[in-house]
Amino acid sequence: MANTEEMRIFAKFSADLWSNEKFCLFADRNPRAAIVWIKSITFAACKKTDGFIGEYAMRHALGASKRDIRLLVENNFLEAGENGWIIHDYLSSQFASSKIDEMAERRREAARRAGIASARARAEKNSVENRSTDVATDVQRTFNEPLNGNPTNVQRQVNGMGNDFSTENQLDIDIDNINYSFTPPTPSRPDFDKLADDLEAIYPVNRFDGKTSQTRFQLEADWPKIVKAAGGLDPVEFLLGKVRDYVAATDAQYVKTFSRFLGGELYTRNWEKPKPSKPTPRPNGPVKSRSQQNLEANMANTWKYMTPEERAKFQNGGVFDAQQG
């Protein structure tokens, strides 16, 4: 039975589950798959899916392997459905989502009425206590120090307030306008559909996968991290700016898909387009080949060890034409 109490939902398991022959034999042979089945029931109750578990939730949220799923289907714990599975006989033991919503609404209404009655009673009690304290203070002060030199003022004041102690004469407080609910502050939750459209407009064609169910689930799950990385900035504008800088600083062919951008937390980096390197200046004149440069270097080195006669012979023969050192 799924129940709601203080925004919590519960799933019902039979107290005889430990002695159920089918479950015990299955759990003894396949303990991992048995745990997946129990987790799937609590997941369906929490998410109010009426027993349906989608493919992504089954594999990633519940950690089911292909073998676990196959065993659960073969043993009639799960039934194959479109894009997922349905827990066998789920609605025969658990409340439907519509029933859970109805029960939650009744509890909220009962809590609202109880809060109004409690607030009205506290307001009346505080008002009576405040007026009683004021009267006692004035009476004591008057007996010790007559007001305006006339002790009869005390009796006049007390008599004049005789009917004011009735709660019928108190100020009617509009309790319905008092907000009794309090939600702890949480990271802002943007319009994810609009955010996906804005991100798609920035990303290169065929590189944006932010509208798939898997990446959308990842974006919502990672949103608190993005809020933290943004510091005091608007997290939506922060993410759009980081994506814009990343796309501008990266060649289109090397831009990662948006899911990999999220998974790698690339929004935490500072992106700048690399400055083009300056070309190496080309030397004046024709460029000599490496073999020609080596030949001339060897001949210049040999020249240093030649005798004057050998140098004259080479010069007259026109064989050697190198810069002399």
More confidently predicted of 99 and 283: 99
Q: So where are the chain's domains?
A: 4-92, 97-177, 192-268, 288-316
Per-residue pLDDT at 174: 45
pTM here? 0.35
Report pLDDT digits (tens) over 11-58: 888 888 888 888 999 999 999 999 999 999 999 988 888 899 998 999
Q: Are 233 and 288 in contact (CB under 8 A)?
A: no
2 and 13 in contact (C-beta within 8 Å)?
no
Judge whether 51 and 90 are in contact, CB under 8 Å: yes
**What's the one-letter identity of residue 279?**
P
DSSP 235-287: HHHHHHHHHHHHHHHS-GGGPPPHHHHHHTTGGGS---PPPPPPPPPPPSSPP
Q: How far apart are CA 325 and CA 322, in angstroms?
A: 9
Q: What is the mean pLDDT of residues 117-130?
A: 75
- Which has the closest alpha carbon to 95: 46, 45, 52? 45
pLDDT at 150: 54
Q: Is the pLDDT of residue 99 over 70?
A: yes
Q: How far apart are CA 201 and CA 229, in angstroms?
A: 23
From the list 151, 119, 125, the residue with the least C-alpha distance to 138 is 151
* pLDDT for position 279: 65
Q: How many residues are there in the chain?
A: 325
Residue 178 has pLDDT above 80, yes or no: no
Tell me the fold of 4-92.
Answer: Arc Repressor Mutant, subunit A (1.10.10)
Which tops the pLDDT comparison, 125 or 186? 125
User: What are the tens digits of pLDDT across the range 246-280?
Assistant: 999 998 889 999 999 999 999 999 988 776 666 66
Give the pLDDT score at 276: 67
Closest CA to 189 of 229, 221, 211, 233: 221
The answer to whether 79 and 86 have CB atoms below 8 angstroms apart is: yes
Rounded percentage of the chain residues whose pLDDT exceeds 90: 31
Quote the pLDDT of residue 272: 82
- Residue 38's φ and ψ, nearest 5 degrees, are -65, -45
What local confidence, expressed as pLDDT, does residue 17 receive?
87
Helices (H) and strands (E) in the chain, counts: 12, 5
User: What's the rounded Cα separation, in Å, for the pair 50 and 47?
Assistant: 9
Of 241-250, 281-290, 314-323, where does the model show the most confidence? 241-250
What confidence score (pLDDT) does residue 247 get?
93
The predicted pLDDT at position 125 comes to 77
